[in-house]
Structure 1
Amino acid sequence: MMAQAIKRLYAREHLKISKIFKRQSEAASRPRVVRLGSREIITEGLYLGFWKDISHRCMTASWPAFIGGAALVFIVFNAVFAVFYWIGDQPVSNVPGGAYIDYLYFSIETLSTAGYGDMHPQTHYGHFVAAVELFTGIFSMSLMTGLIFARFSRPNARLLFADHPVISSHDGKPTLMLRLANERHNIISNATARLWAFKDIVSIEGQSFRRFYELPLIRNESPALALSWTLFHVLDEASPLYGLDADGLAAANVSLVVVVSGYDVIAAQTVLARKSYDHPEIRFGHRYAEILGTTEDGRLRVDYGMFHQTVPD
């Protein structure tokens, strides 16, 4: 009899595990849309559960979603503990009529460690539930404090990138140009920029690859980035984009990625920003509208209202 019971238990557990793996396999087989810049990619055969990467989801969620999720967890925790108080035999003193709403208020006071004092546990059962809730409250509050601090303390650069890269003549040579600006107008020292091009190629064996190339810049460092900065890449024979027009860029499915990093002297942290462009966004035969000028009293004037505008060469 004992052996048969063990066999039945083993069969039930094996069936549960098989169902779990089946659900994971079905979830992995569902296509998922991944956004890389402005490009949408469909991925299949890979599944990452919600709770397996919860810290990353908390860090990348928008502020409304993050605050809404925290409020929902707070409400659920208090509602559950209020039920445990409610089903007990008067575990908390000074609860008129044993109403559930009063236990909910007491749960909020306990979970948040406020403890006003008018209601308090008066039985061993009430003290036990309150102790568990206090531990949950301390743990959850510490976790929430850490997440909020991490979200606020993340270094980020408020860099504004032009909507369109342009290709025009510069110093008598065809040049790819890309303009960016520091929205905060603080000093980003030792700013470094790197520009990459991605294009589709076909090997001799006929296999398709997505290959990236770093595009050399005329000047890829700035000692102090505070206003605007235009990057220049000469389209000479050494350039991966040499000889490509708009149709050539489309045929090779060319995209650009620019990465800018530097030291924020106010935040005392290294900051980084990136921007990606697809080939339809590159404008041939255009240059950026002039945004620098001088006022009547001789001071430098920067018109960011024309920052994204381009004009025919």
Structure 2
Amino acid sequence: MVKSVSERTPKARVVRLGGREIIVAEGQHLGFWADISHRCMTASWPSFIAGAALVFVVFNAIFAGFYWIADQPISNVPGGAYIDYLYFSIETLSTAGYGDMHPQTHYGHFIAATELFTGIFSMSLMTGLIFARFSRPNARLLFADNPVISSHEGKPTLMVRFVNERHNIIGNAAAKLWLMRNEVSVEGGTSRRFYELPLARSEHPALALSWTLYHVIDEQSPLYGLDADDFAAADVSLVVVVSGYDVVAAQTIHARKSYDYPAVRFGQRYADILDRTEDGRLRIDYGRFHETLEG
């Protein structure tokens, strides 16, 4: 017995949250074309280009077939070969129109007009998608591979370091650090809870170089008294969210980085990457950016 569309089991959607894959929205009926613009915007550039090329080939193959099944709808097509109709279809769909081949019947003119409209529409749509992908603001922030927990200013502190790779000014930069962990309720049920970790400094007036976030682990901190084993037992994840105003792009940009508990290094600190050259200029050593040291 064939199931109806509404009875078929839909494919579960997979998203990444806090550095791990979580299966969500199981049982949700969401077709491929339901949010195609979002898929086009979030696909990688190789996938986007490959998809656009595939659509281009399929459209031309279909219209070439319409020309091919008719009785010489296009002039100057020797022998009525399919490949020649495919070339004519490409000229028409792309609105190039070299002129050596042209419709010579009402059927040919009708198919060519339909294809021309499709070409104009698809080219406009593709132009808009490419422009949106190129003009979309993005932050070039490089985050350290590992958060560290060690003593800072005499207090146990969680630290996360990142740097502005563009070295332009990100004005009014703001950062938030979130903790996610599993907790067992009084009834014995397990749920995923999240907490915002207070930072010693959550705003930066002009982020151009590096910035280290500090969360002091005191009695009020959700991390107070936890060690590496406790992190693993609670399946701890950390999420850093940074936003600010890019003065070059004149747009607000956002960046996000997730860490799972194995990435957190206890009893270590970041290697110093800032020093000065002999002529007094500030220098950043990116070769040591991800390096951590004991202490």
- Scaled by the length of structure 2, the TM-score of the pair is 0.96
Equivalent residue number for residue 22 of structure 2 = 41
Q: 1:249 aligns with which of 231, 234, 256?
A: 231
Q: Deviations over 1:196-242 (max 9, x none)?
A: 10111122222222111111101111111111000000001111111
Q: Deviations over 1:135-183 (max 9, x none)?
A: 1111111111111111111110010000111111111111111100011
Q: Deviations over 1:84-115 (max 9, x none)?
A: 11111211111122121111111111100111
- Scaled by the length of structure 1, the TM-score of the pair is 0.90
- Aligned partners of 1:136, 1:32: CA distance in 2, in Å? 32
Question: In the alignment, is residue 20 of structure 1 matched against residue 5 of structure 2?
Answer: yes
Equivalent residue number for residue 226 of structure 1 = 208
Equivalent residue number for residue 73 of structure 1 = 55
Equivalent residue number for residue 133 of structure 2 = 151
* 1:45 Cα offset (Å): 2.5
- Aligned partners of 2:103, 2:167: CA distance in 1, in Å? 57
Percent of aligned pairs with the same residue?
Answer: 77
- Aligned partners of 1:308, 1:161: CA distance in 2, in Å? 8
- Aligned partners of 1:309, 1:93: CA distance in 2, in Å? 69
Q: 1:178 aligns with which of 146, 156, 160?
A: 160
- Aligned partners of 1:139, 1:96: CA distance in 2, in Å? 30
**SS state of the match for residue 122, structure 1?**
coil
Contact 2:170 2:207 in 1 (8 A): yes
Question: In the alignment, is residue 284 of structure 1 matched against residue 266 of structure 2?
Answer: yes
Contact 2:19 2:237 in 1 (8 A): no
- Aligned partners of 2:13, 2:38: CA distance in 1, in Å? 18
Equivalent residue number for residue 125 of structure 1 = 107
**SS state of the match for residue 58, structure 2?**
helix
- Aligned partners of 1:33, 1:195: CA distance in 2, in Å? 24
Q: 2:147 aligns with which of 137, 156, 165?
A: 165
Contact 2:159 2:214 in 1 (8 A): yes
Q: 1:271 aligns with which of 233, 253, 261?
A: 253
- Aligned partners of 2:162, 2:261: CA distance in 1, in Å? 18
Aligned residues: 294
Question: In the alignment, is residue 51 of structure 1 matched against residue 33 of structure 2?
Answer: yes
- Aligned partners of 1:47, 1:312: CA distance in 2, in Å? 51
Bigger drift between 50-59 and 34-43 goes to 34-43
**SS state of the match for residue 114, structure 2?**
helix
Question: In the alignment, is residue 139 of structure 1 matched against residue 121 of structure 2?
Answer: yes
Question: In the alignment, is residue 190 of structure 1 matched against residue 172 of structure 2?
Answer: yes
The aligned amino acid for 1:114 is: A
Contact 2:9 2:27 in 1 (8 A): no
The aligned amino acid for 1:26 is: T
Structure 2 alignment gaps of length 5 or more = none
Structure 1 alignment gaps of length 5 or more = 1-14
Equivalent residue number for residue 102 of structure 1 = 84
**SS state of the match for residue 137, structure 1?**
helix
Report the structure number with the largest CA radius of gyration.
Answer: 1
Q: Which has the higher helix share?
A: 1
- Aligned partners of 1:148, 1:258: CA distance in 2, in Å? 29
- Aligned partners of 2:135, 2:207: CA distance in 1, in Å? 22
Equivalent residue number for residue 310 of structure 1 = 292
Contact 2:18 2:239 in 1 (8 A): no
Q: Deviations over 1:105-135 (max 9, x none)?
A: 1111110011111211111111100111011
* 1:37 Cα offset (Å): 4.8
**RMSD of equivalent CA atoms:** 1.5
- Aligned partners of 1:48, 1:309: CA distance in 2, in Å? 44
Bigger drift between 51-60 and 34-43 goes to 34-43
**SS state of the match for residue 164, structure 1?**
coil
Question: In the alignment, is residue 212 of structure 1 matched against residue 194 of structure 2?
Answer: yes
* 1:53 Cα offset (Å): 1.8
**SS state of the match for residue 128, structure 2?**
helix
Bigger drift between 142-151 and 31-40 goes to 31-40
